[in-house]
A and B are shown apart, each in its own frame.
Chain A
């Protein structure tokens, strides 16, 4: 049942301690800062977070990590010039890291939403990141077995939603939004604008409302 909430605090109120939370965004583009701030305020802890990165500077995901709310990061590119909060927790042994090649991360998320139990991919074959994984020679190349990544909750930023929960995004801020929306049990979306049913051209809908549970307008 699709719900429209008045505040970001209400939107994230049901996130439980110990949840796996997918957070959209590539760097700051598409990162749902308002929802993340509300999650921080909610006090939810012991979280496993799935994101491309591990937070930038002193905002958004970086603050969740700084405040010790994240037990484990599943991501492709944690180390950046401004990832000091993750770096400190990692060096102190206070956060677990599952490092995943970016395309495998995206496809594992997609697989979860699409009901795929696993897949073989050439990416990572022969590298440290494929150690211990099943391999097969398929289609003329060695491939590595990868499993889906499911989540309890996805926090996503889109540009607009209509009254049915259909979403459109903006430019490269789309990134992980559509696949995370499908992979999570509960998908919470912050948007800049809500339009009435019929207000989005059906040909241009990127995420159909079937994947969306909660919408909150911000800004």
Chain B
């Protein structure tokens, strides 16, 4: 599943493309720009759904929502709100021309069957080998809930993660090995963070670009070898 490392860029020469770390919206804009035209895309719930604000008409992207729809439109407002038309986060949405509805087994067959080009998910941790942890903290008093996270992580051709690089206590969330319970093994292909974009390749973690830090400063923050 890992991206093959075809880039001619030598190790450790990723460019700082922004003088400041990226905010959530700038990051969403960047992810949106990177999605290939004509793709079928699932944006999970929460922060990744911001990506939909920056997809252009020319890109001709079709959004999938796990609860049974292709061709999902923007969030519904006012009179558009229909309790029978919601997204995976149970937020009322709209339908675009050309939309389709289907039952849950079909919806997850689309994921598992490899028909979705990209999904974008949040994460607690990602490992250097692309393991994803985003469903359960493992705390003894936590009530677990998994939803479609494991199906998406396993099924989409490309799994992009959007997260802040550092946790609240300042530790890198891109780690040598996940300490939280995993959602999927070796499934993440790219990690978009406020400080850098990382490509998970067969040759290790490659930094595509950095924001507000140099490659060397970034490497100082992390326990994962970077290229």
Chain A contacts to B: CB under 8 angstroms = 26-30, 52, 76-80, 86-87, 90-91, 97, 99-107, 109-110, 121-129, 142, 169-179, 206
Q: Which residues of B contact A172 (CB under 8 A)?
A: 65, 67-69, 84-86, 101
* Contact present for A127 and B183 (CB under 8 Å): yes
Are A106 and B104 in touch, CB under 8 angstroms?
A: yes
- B85: which A residues are within 8 A, CB to CB? 29, 171-172
User: Which B residues lie at the A interface, using CB under 8 A?
Assistant: 65-69, 82-86, 90, 95, 101-105, 107-109, 111-112, 131, 136, 141, 143-151, 154-155, 181-185
Chain A min CB distance to B92 (Å): 9
Report the minimal beta-carbon distance from A115 to chain B, rounded to whole angstroms.
Answer: 14
* Bound Cα distance A52, B146 (Å): 10
Residue among B68, B112, B148 with max Cβ neighbours from chain A (10 Å): B68
Point out the residues of chain B lying under 8 angstroms from A99, CB to CB: 144-146
> CB-CB < 8 A to B112: which residues of A?
103, 107, 121-123
CA distance A86 to B109 in the complex (A): 29
Tell me whether A78 and B143 are in contact (CB under 8 A).
yes
Given contacts A103-B112, A174-B103, contact A28 B83 (CB under 8 A): yes
Which residue from B101, B108, B144 sits with its C-beta under 8 Å from A103?
Answer: B108
* B contact residues around A175 at 8 Å (CB): 67-68, 103-104
- Tell me the nearest residue of chain A to B103, going by C-beta: A178
Given A28-B83, A106-B108 in contact, is the A79-B145 Cβ separation under 8 Å? yes
| Distance between Cα atoms of A123 and B132 in the complex (Å) | 13
With A175-B104, A178-B103 in contact, is A103–B67 under 8 Å at CB? no
Q: How close is A216's CB to chain B, nearest CB, in angstroms?
A: 19
Query: Contact at A128–B105, with CB atoms within 8 Å?
Result: no
B184 contacts across to A, CB distance below 8 A: 125-127
When A121-B112, A172-B67 are in contact, do A102 and B84 touch as well, CB less than 8 Å? no
Determine if A102 and B147 form an interchain contact, defined as CB atoms under 8 angstroms apart: yes
Q: List 7 A-B contacts (CB under 8 A).
A: A29-B67, A29-B85, A102-B151, A123-B151, A123-B155, A171-B84, A206-B103
Q: Are B82 and A171 in touch, CB under 8 angstroms? A: yes
Supposing A102-B108, A171-B82, A172-B86 touch, asked if A90 and B143 sit within 8 A by C-beta, the answer is yes
The answer to whether A76 touches B148 (Cβ under 8 A) is: yes
> Is the pair B143, A29 in contact by a Cβ cutoff of 8 Å?
no
Q: Cβ of B151: which chain A residues have Cβ within 8 Å of it? A: 101-104, 123
Evaluate contact between A171 and B144: CB separation under 8 angstroms: no
Given the interface pairs A79-B145, A129-B150, the reply to whether A109 lies near B105 with Cβ below 8 Å is yes
A124 and B108 contact, Cβ closer than 8 Å, known pairs A29-B84, A29-B86, A78-B145: no
Known contacts: A123-B154, A174-B101. The answer to whether A102 contacts B148 by CB under 8 A is yes
Residue in A28, A29, A103, A206 whose CB lies within 8 Å of B148? A103
Report Cα–Cα, A45/B90, bound state, in Å.
29
Instruction: Give A52 to B111 CA distance when docked, in angstroms.
Output: 17
Q: How far is the CA of A106 from the CA of B108 in the complex (A)?
A: 8
